[in-house]
Amino acid sequence: MKVTMRVNGTERSGDVEPRVLLVDFLRTNLTLTGTHIGCDTTSCGACTVLLDGEPVKSCTLLAVQVDGRDIKTVEGLAAHGAKLSPIQVGFHEEHGLQCGFCTPGMMLVGSALLERNPNPTDDEIRWAISGNICRCTGYMNIVKAIQHAAQSQSEAAKGMGAKQAAMAGGTE
Ligand code: FES
Ligand code: FES
């Protein structure tokens, strides 16, 4: 079957057997190997991607089920021209990873959380990442990394607001 989806802002197509999982389509057909396979049984969250902005485990979906939909993988986290997104900077600064196997999924879950809740509590972060397993870090620094991203996004938004206010004042 032919499937077409928007992946990280670009329309991508491929011919797949109906049984092909989304994670295999991303990794094998599109060579987006930042999406990891940990368990293949919907348990670990390593394969998490965003489907229309919501985190999903891509080992749980068939590629044909997302025909026509929007997918974001870890490769699409940084905006065009930016080396790293705030969530990636947070994981770097707070040492939110060790082996890195869980990290793409954790960062996508974290970025989706911050989209709908820009100032989460630690408990809200823990709830958001509760479907993702990390065998290395003990989770403390993952929570700190997401808080770091929340803070830098909020500071950037304040800076943008101040700039817009100054520009509005200058035109009066
Ligand atoms: Fe999909 Fe573990 S590989 S949840
Ligand atoms: Fe190794 Fe999370 S950093 S599994």
pLDDT digits (tens, 9 = 90+) for 119-150: 999 999 999 999 999 999 999 999 999 999 99
Assess contact for 105 and 132: CB atoms under 8 A.
yes
Ligand nearest to the CA of 46: 1
The enclosing H or E element of 54 equals: strand 54-57
CB of 44 closer than 6 A to ligand 1?
yes
Query: Residue 62 to residues 18, 59, 71, 80: CA-CA distances in angstroms?
Result: 7, 8, 13, 29
Would the pTM count as exceeding 0.75?
yes
Q: Quickly state the pLDDT bin for 170 (edges 50, 70, 90).
A: low
Whole-number Å distance, alpha carbon 171 to ligand 2 midpoint, is 51
pLDDT, mean of residues 54-83: 95
Assess contact for 71 and 61: CB atoms under 8 A.
no
pLDDT of residue 143: 98
Whole-number Å distance, alpha carbon 138 to ligand 2 midpoint, is 9
Answer yes or no: is pLDDT of 172 > 50: no
Q: Which residue, by CA, sits nearest to atom 2 of ligand 2? A: 134
CB of 47 closer than 6 A to ligand 1?
yes
Q: Which residue, by CA, sits nearest to atom 4 of ligand 2? A: 134
SS3 3: strand
Whole-number Å distance, alpha carbon 169 to ligand 2 midpoint, is 49
Structure tokens at 104: 């793409």
